Structure 1
Amino acid sequence: MSAPPLPLHETKRDSLSNLTSAGISPILYEVNLSVPKENARDYLSYLGTFCRNAVETVEGFTHCNVFTQPKPTGLHWLSEEGDAKVYVVVQYHIASEHHMNLYLDNYQDALSKQDQNKWGFLVISRRILRLQVAI
């Protein structure tokens, strides 16, 4: 006979340090972009190289995923773009809050300007997601 499940407040939860050693990043840095359809193929190719370089050179960047998504719904100001854009989500996996702050202080502005100067695309948004629970 198995024991009944523990109430939620008594459930054992792995520490974030155990999770990160298992390959789960405690921080995701997400960048959302709107790319003209006619430039999407070239930009995505460039972005793969750009992200690989970031993971290899920026301390604490452990992994990166690049996604495309359908046109975001519920954002009225995007309705003017029609179907002229491809929406890209880039998620960088960051090893720690310390590494996130290093990036923001030392790299983010220069890399953003480099990307903007090369392509002229606007970043729709950036956000930092901090892991609270992993199951």
Structure 2
Amino acid sequence: MSMTQSSDSAHAANNQVHTYSAGTLVYEVNLSVPREKAEDYIDWLRGFTKEQVKKIPGFLSTMVFRQPKPYGLHWLSEEGNAKTYITVHYVIESQAHLEEYLKRDQPAVAAAEQDRFEFLVTSRRTLSVVC
């Protein structure tokens, strides 16, 4: 195995991406972040989400997305260009793992974000892939 292949394999192992097949459970968190804090938040979020996957039972992988301004949502559109919109997807092993997280860990996660960055999560939802 070449050095490049070894490096690529290590990178892939640290950045595992799950395919979304039927039955995949995704926990989605949507955030509205003040534009001036967005880059600091994304830098923090990159490490934070990976740590969540390592330490929370049933969390398999995570991806962070930057959204374009959500024009169709009037209550968000009123924010103008003052905000950056971010979506986090966590792929979770089962509904039971998600329920345990929501009961045990989620309040502390939300408090950490609020204390550090002084804004709240816009919305959360659970998605289950059907096809």
TM interval, shorter chain, is: 0.7 to 0.9
Whether the 8 Å contact between 2:20 and 2:129 is mirrored in structure 1 is no
Q: Deviations over 1:7-27 (max 9, x none)?
A: xxxxxxxxxxxxxx9885721
> Is 1:110 equivalent to 2:108 in the alignment?
yes
Q: Which residue of the partner structure matches residue 97 of structure 1?
A: 95
Greater shift, 53-62 or 98-107, is seen at 98-107
CA RMSD for the aligned pairs? 1.8
The equivalent of 2:129 in structure 1 is 131
Structure 2, unaligned runs of 5 or more: 1-17
**Gap change, CA 1:130 and 1:117, over 3 Å in 2:** same
Paired with 1:80 and 1:23, the residues of 2 have a C-alpha distance of 33
| 1:73 paired to 2:63 | no
In the comparison of the two structures, how many residue pairs are matched?
113
Alignment of 1:1-135 (within 5 A): 24=21, 26-133=24-131
Q: Which runs of 4+ in 1 moved over 3 A?
A: 21-25
SS of the aligned residue for 2:84 comes to strand
Which residue identity lines up with residue 84 of structure 1 in the other structure? A
Q: TM-score, normalised by structure 2?
A: 0.80
Q: Percent identity?
A: 46
Counterpart amino acid of residue 119 in structure 2: F
TM-score (norm 1): 0.78
Deviation at residue 117 of structure 1 after TM alignment = 1.1
Tell me the CA shift for residue 131 of structure 1: 2.2
Larger Cα-atom Rg: 1
Cα separation, 1, equivalents of 2:126 and 2:19: 21
The residue number in structure 1 matching 2:9 is none
- Which residue type is aligned with residue 68 of structure 2? P
